[in-house]
Chains A and B, each alone.
Chain A
Amino acid sequence: MIKFTNVFKAFPKGGLALKDVSFHIAKGEFVFLTGHSGAGKSTVLKLVYAEEPVTSGEVRVSGFTLADARRRDIPKLRRRLGIVFQDFRLLEDRTAEENVAFALEVTGARRASIPARVMRVLTQVGLAAKAHAYPRELSGGEQQRVAIARALVNEPTVLLADEPTGNLDERATRGVFQLLRDINASGTAVVMATHDLDLVRQAPYRVIELQEGALVYDSAVDEPRDQAASP
Chain B
Amino acid sequence: MNLVIREALLAFRRAPLLSALSVTTIAFSLFVVGLFGLVAVNLQQALRDVAERVEIVAYLLPGAPIETITLAEKDIEAFPEVQAAAYVSEDQALDRARAELVEFRDVLQELERNPLPASIEVKLKPRFRDVEHVNEVAERLRGFGFVDDVRFGRDWVANVDRLRQIAAAVGLVVGAAFAVVAIIIIGTTIRMAVLQRSREIAIMRLVGATDGFVRRPFLLQGALKGMLGGLAAVALSYGAYALINRWLIHAEFFSREQAVAIVGFGMLIGFFGSAASVGRHLRRI
Contacts and interface: CB of A to CB of B under 8 A. Distances in A.
Judge: A and B partners, yes or no: yes
Interface of A: 49, 71-72, 74-79, 83, 89-91, 93, 102-103, 105-108, 150, 154
B207 A93 contact: no
Contacts of A91: 199-200, 203
B283 to A, nearest CB: 9
A49 B202 CA distance: 13
A89 B208 contact: no
B210 interface: yes
Interface string B67-95: 00000000000000000000000000000
A76 B211 CA distance: 12
A107 B205 CA distance: 10
B210 A72 contact: yes
Interface in B7-38: 14
Interface string B141-167: 000000000000000000000000000
A134 to B, nearest CB: 13
Nearest to B212: A72
B107 interface: no
B203 A154 contact: no
Contact of A83 (B3, B199, B204, B206): B206
Which 9 pairs, one residue from A and one from B, show the smallest C-beta to C-beta distance?
A106-B209, A79-B208, A78-B208, A103-B207, A75-B210, A75-B208, A107-B208, A89-B203, A106-B204
Contacts of A150: 207
Contacts of B208: 75-79, 103, 106-107, 154
B104 interface: no
Given A91-B200, A93-B14, A105-B3, A78 B210 contact: no
Contacts of B203: 89-91, 102
Contacts of A83: 206-207
The main secondary structure of chain B at its interface with chain A is: helix
B140 to A, nearest CB: 69
A78 B211 contact: no
A150 B206 CA distance: 11
A164 to B, nearest CB: 14
Contacts of A102: 203-204, 207
A83 to B, nearest CB: 6
A78 to B, nearest CB: 4
A90 B206 CA distance: 11
Nearest to B206: A83
Contacts of A75: 205, 208-211
Given A91-B200, A93-B14, A107 B211 contact: no
B211 A71 contact: yes
25 contacts: A74-B205, A75-B205, A75-B209, A75-B211, A76-B208, A77-B208, A78-B207, A79-B207, A83-B206, A83-B207, A89-B203, A89-B206, A90-B203, A91-B200, A91-B203, A93-B14, A102-B203, A102-B204, A102-B207, A103-B207, A103-B208, A106-B208, A108-B213, A150-B207, A154-B208
